[in-house]
Amino acid sequence: MPLHDVLAPFGPQAAHVHALWNLILLVCTLVFAAVLVALLVALWRAPRASAATPPDLSVLRRPERGSHRSVVAAVAVSTLLLLALIAASVFTDRALAGLSTANALRLEVTAHQWWWEVRYMAPKPSDIFITANEIHVPVDRPVIVTLKGDDVIHSFWAPSLAGKKDLIPGRTSTLQFRADKPGVYRGQCAEFCGLQHALMAFFVVADPPERYEAWAAAQRQSAGPPAPGAPLRGSRVFQSASCAMCHAIDGSPAQAVRGPNLTHVASRGTLAAGALANTPDDLRHWITDPQRIKPGTNMPATSLSSSELEDLVAYLQTLR
């Protein structure tokens, strides 16, 4: 299963955040324990009385120097601890900002309800390509992500690699991270963004550099002509049905940008931003009744005959 654990950092950004979390947890635990101990001591030392005991008003005229010193000391210690946590947060922020970004991979991620569009930037326009919900990065190479929101506020969060960053419509922000170990790291939208907020996952796949370069080279290729038989018939179904009104397949007449780019959809591990596995059965369910799986999604149900559906699935399964 893909890793999704805030306590398992696999990059320098996540490691800095994890260290700050451990410090805050330690300080807060000690303060909480001290408060409980003080409460127990106060209860133990409190005088016992019954309903018939006359009130003792002498304390109103007698200064309680011990209690006064205890309160002053507690306030002083609390202030120092809060200042220490503020300083630790500032130093953590400076450490995150000071990480090297030399030779960084640059991505542009746009959040939609409820999926992620990922654009791989490059100096040459012909080397730019688009994918969805699955982010491949090379190990030990910095990644700079430009974040944009298309509709409402979303939040990009891959806890094993970096902290959270909001994607606000009309604003652009950036996030940096680096994966130090190959693996698949699960990410999630961390800001409530509508009905299917919980089903808006993404996956960061950290590959060795040579494997990443091979993957990127394959992603830059267009889909090419479909094979004869079911894939060819399925491509015609794709063009004639509502699919081509929202989705693009490079190398075909379909060039819409409303939904995810499907040029290499069969190479992805999941469908619908992690809601389904990328299998023929789940693909059939998603095409015929997406509202049952993700109520409120912008994708409409596609009414096809059984043969048309099988041909369309066969075609989409060839898009690797």
Q: What residues contact 5, with CB distance under 8 A and at least 6 apart?
A: 159, 160
CATH number reported for the structural domain that contains residue 291 in this entry: 2.60.40.420
Task: Examine the domain organization and report whether 193 and 299 are in the same domain.
Answer: no
- Type of residue numbered 57: L
The pair phi, psi for residue 138, each rounded to 5°, is: -80, 145
Per-residue confidence (pLDDT) for residue 101, from 0 to 100:
87
Please choose, from the candidates 22, 195, 204, 34, the residue with its C-alpha nearest in 3D space to the C-alpha of residue 107: 204
Number of domains in the chain: 2
- Type of residue numbered 101: T
The answer to whether residue 160 is domain-embedded is yes
Task: Examine the domain organization and report whether 111 and 210 are in the same domain.
Answer: yes
Per-residue confidence (pLDDT) for residue 1, from 0 to 100:
60
Q: What is the dihedral of CA 7, 161, 211, 123, to 10 degrees?
A: 180
Per-residue confidence (pLDDT) for residue 192, from 0 to 100:
95
| DSSP alpha helix (H) spans, 167-289 | 209-220, 230-240, 280-288
Of 187, 219, 251, which closes a domain? 219
Task: Examine the domain organization and report whether 207 and 111 are in the same domain.
Answer: yes
Residue 2 has pLDDT above 90, yes or no: no
* Residue 177 burial class via C-beta count within 10 angstroms: exposed 0-12, middle 13-18, buried 19 and up: buried
The pTM of the full predicted model, rounded to 2 decimals, is 0.85
Task: Examine the domain organization and report whether 134 and 201 are in the same domain.
Answer: yes
The answer to whether residue 25 is domain-embedded is no
Per-residue confidence (pLDDT) for residue 202, from 0 to 100:
96
Q: Is 111 in contact with 156 (CB distance < 8 Å)?
A: yes
Give the domain range for residue 282.
230-316
Task: Examine the domain organization and report whether 312 and 206 are in the same domain.
Answer: no
The answer to whether residue 27 is domain-embedded is no
Rounded to the nearest integer, the mean pLDDT of the chain is: 92
Residues 38-75: tens digit of each pLDDT: 899 888 888 778 888 888 777 777 777 777 788 899 89
C-alpha angle 264-267-269 in degrees, rounded to nearest 5: 130
Residues 81-107: tens digit of each pLDDT: 999 999 999 999 998 888 888 899 999
Residues 113-172: tens digit of each pLDDT: 999 999 999 999 989 999 999 999 999 999 999 999 999 999 999 999 999 999 999 999
CA distance 272 to 278: 9
